[in-house]
Amino acid sequence: QVQLVESGGGLVQAGGSLRLSCVDSRRPFTNNAVGWFRQVPGEEREFVAAISWDGGNSHYADSVKGRFIISRSKGANMVALQMNSLKPEDTAVYYCASFIRPYYTSNVGPKYWGQGTQVTVSS
């Protein structure tokens, strides 16, 4: 059974940085694409970034390109999301999610989700 656990959220001032981490505490997701999504109360959950099983391919939402970096080491059971130049509009609950497939495609949703971690950016 998969259990994704996020960590690293918190409160930061605009322009600051945070680093989120995601691990699968029960089963390594070393062969799966992994992504980050975020959600603001009252709005739909939106895609932020995703990375292939080997770290060789990554995808980003336009709103975070050039500011966020998703990373993983091949064979490592941890995916990180480095968030730089944070803006108040980045405030949301951030969710880690793993896919059945090794590569991310926008037409296939995640199979498993974490519980989420709150990121708050103050102006």
- pLDDT at residue 109 greater than cutoff 70: yes
CA 2 vs CA 21, 96, 101, 116, 122: distances in Å: 16, 12, 15, 15, 33
* Residue 2 pLDDT: 67
Q: 43: Cβ–Cβ under 8 A, 6 or more apart, which residues?
A: none
* Residue 1 pLDDT: 67
Q: What does the pLDDT look like over 22-73, one tens digit per residue?
A: 998 877 788 899 999 999 999 999 999 999 999 999 999 999 999 999 999 8
The DSSP bridge partners found for residue 87 are none
* C-alpha to C-alpha distance for 75 and 73, rounded to whole angstroms: 6
* C-alpha to C-alpha distance for 12 and 2, rounded to whole angstroms: 30
* Residue 55 pLDDT: 92
Residue of 80, 94, 93, 90 whose CA lies nearest to 121 = 90
* C-alpha to C-alpha distance for 42 and 2, rounded to whole angstroms: 27
